[in-house]
């Protein structure tokens, strides 16, 4: 797609925002062009658009509600492909008829039936359990979807390679994955949630260690058999399990959550997690609660219920926004400067501060934990991969935001061109 064609395609998206329903198709919404792989009969995270013209394979990247909207027990528009954990989750949570759900193996190219020979490889996305990146390889065979754009390559023998990121937290493991390393990618469909230099937050591994260390220090401060510290971690959907596991292991305790949540956790086929779960709130020194309950006033009454076992409570509220970036990470700064500034900074338990309303008995900590890539990670990922075009899939509703994102994508392209051998040194295997 040329730049002009791409602008037309985005304009089409803007126009259909105002006329969302298609007449005579059961009130179906028009699928934006980026929901359908160019020239392939494949849609990704596009269930809300119903039976999309020409689509024979519907992919789901992970089991978060904004990605599976309209996938339910009444789904009948075609086969749904996803990872095994995501398959367990949608069958359990959404009662999708298992006859439609096709779990695929990880890291193994698999040819998808009725797609003209397209093969897909699922790669761990580093987002929530079961989440994956999808690498598609194959020819363009069809004008599918609702867009007026017609690719000139349909019917040609040219092979295309598209990487769909779903939601992801980019890591050096992605760019060194054999399916991605040194492979020219025609399109990257990118999770651009934090494609803005104001979104600089620390690596997950550092944040997880900080939470575990802080919990350990607080618990050790006033430990006696009569007075234990309860640690509460807030989550509202699947995800953030890594914090829970690390804190429970640091405190050598079990994890309590309600039976509904426990059943969802058991869908994740994570033996380590399964072994930690208990149905007894007094046995679990870590409780998993909805995020809304992790506030000083609510935790005060919550811990009262377990008086005699727990005398104080520490709450962790994981969000992506509680971190103030180091000064100077703005748009006028050179990309290499942003990278070295970010890499020069480490996050420890000392950086976790109790909220203003905290008291000795009830302490709540905002945790800058995100399962989406930071601006640094998007930048390192983009500079380390070989791509022709990046298509944003998040924050695309406003033209102003799209223009700003496009400018960063251009800067990444220029950076790649400037030094084809320029490789960013990751700090560990897990993060840059
Ligand atoms: Zn998600």
Neighbours of 354 (CB within 10 A): 18
pLDDT in tens, the chain (432 residues): 667 888 888 888 887 766 556 666 667 899 999 999 999 999 999 999 999 999 999 999 999 999 999 999 999 999 999 999 999 999 999 999 999 999 999 999 999 999 999 999 999 999 999 999 999 999 999 999 999 999 999 999 999 999 999 999 999 999 999 999 999 999 999 999 999 988 888 999 999 999 999 999 998 875 555 678 999 999 888 888 999 999 999 999 999 999 999 999 999 999 999 999 999 999 999 999 999 999 999 999 999 999 989 999 999 998 766 555 555 555 667 888 888 888 988 999 999 999 989 898 999 999 999 999 999 999 999 999 999 999 999 999 999 999 999 999 999 999 888 875 456 889 999 999
Ligand 1 mean position, distance from CA 24 (Å) = 32
For the chain, the structural domain boundaries read 3-196+375-418, 204-368
pTM for the whole structure: 0.93
Q: Measured between alpha carbons, how far is 289 from 316 in angstroms, rounded to an integer? A: 10
Ligand 1 mean position, distance from CA 167 (Å) = 5
Q: Measured between alpha carbons, how far is 177 from 174 in angstroms, rounded to an integer? A: 5
Ligand 1 mean position, distance from CA 64 (Å) = 5
Ligand 1 mean position, distance from CA 366 (Å) = 20
Vertex 181 angle, CA 176 and 428, to 5°: 15
Ligand 1 mean position, distance from CA 225 (Å) = 40
Ligand 1 mean position, distance from CA 124 (Å) = 13
Ligand 1 mean position, distance from CA 338 (Å) = 26
SS3 396: coil
Q: What is the CA radius of gyration of the chain?
A: 23
Architecture of the structural domain at 3-196+375-418: 4-Layer Sandwich (3.60)
The CATH code that applies to domain 204-368 is 3.40.50.12650
């Amino acid at each position: 797609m040329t730049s002009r064609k791409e602008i037309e395609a985005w304009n089409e998206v803007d126009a259909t925002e105002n006329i969302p329903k298609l007449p005579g198709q059961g009130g179906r919404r028009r699928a934006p062009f980026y929901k359908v792989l160019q020239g392939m009969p494949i849609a990704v995270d596009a269930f809300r658009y119903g039976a999309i013209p020409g689509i024979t394979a519907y992919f789901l990247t992970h089991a978060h509600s904004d990605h599976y909207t309209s996938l339910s027990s009444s789904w009948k528009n075609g086969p749904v492909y996803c990872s095994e954990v995501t398959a367990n989750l949608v069958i359990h949570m959404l009662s999708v008829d298992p006859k439609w759900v096709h779990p695929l193996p990880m890291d193994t190219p698999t040819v998808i039936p009725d797609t003209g020979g397209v093969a897909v490889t699922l790669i761990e996305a580093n987002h929530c359990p079961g989440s994956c990146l999808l690498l598609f390889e194959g020819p363009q065979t069809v004008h599918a979807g609702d867009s007026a754009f017609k690719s000139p390559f349909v019917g040609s023998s040219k092979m295309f390679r598209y990487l769909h990121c779903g939601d992801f937290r980019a890591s050096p493991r992605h760019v060194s994955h054999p399916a991605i390393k040194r492979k020219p990618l025609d399109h990257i469909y990118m999770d651009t949630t934090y494609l803005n230099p104001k979104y600089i937050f620390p690596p997950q591994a550092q944040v997880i260690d900080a939470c575990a260390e802080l919990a350990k220090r607080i618990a050790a401060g006033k430990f006696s058999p009569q007075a234990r510290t309860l640690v509460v971690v807030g989550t509202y959907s699947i995800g953030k399990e890594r914090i829970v596991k690390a804190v429970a292991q640091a405190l050598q305790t079990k994890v309590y959550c309600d039976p509904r949540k426990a059943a969802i956790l058991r869908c994740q086929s994570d033996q380590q997690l399964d072994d930690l779960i208990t149905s007894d709130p007094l046995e679990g020194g870590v409780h998993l609660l909805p995020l809304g309950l992790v506030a000083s006033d609510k935790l005060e009454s919550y811990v009262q219920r377990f008086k005699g076992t727990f005398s104080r409570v520490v709450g962790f509220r994981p969000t992506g926004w509680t971190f103030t970036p180091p000064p100077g990470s703005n748009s006028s700064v050179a990309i290499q400067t942003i990278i070295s500034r970010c890499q020069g900074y480490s996050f420890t338990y000392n950086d976790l501060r109790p909220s203003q309303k905290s008291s000795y008995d009830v302490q709540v900590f905002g945790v800058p934990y995100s399962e989406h890539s930071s601006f640094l990670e998007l930048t390192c990922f983009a500079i380390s991969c070989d791509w022709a075009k990046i298509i944003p899939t998040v924050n695309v509703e406003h033209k102003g935001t799209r223009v700003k994102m496009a400018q960063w994508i251009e800067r990444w392209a220029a950076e790649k061109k400037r030094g084809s051998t320029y490789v960013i040194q990751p700090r560990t295997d897990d993060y840059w």
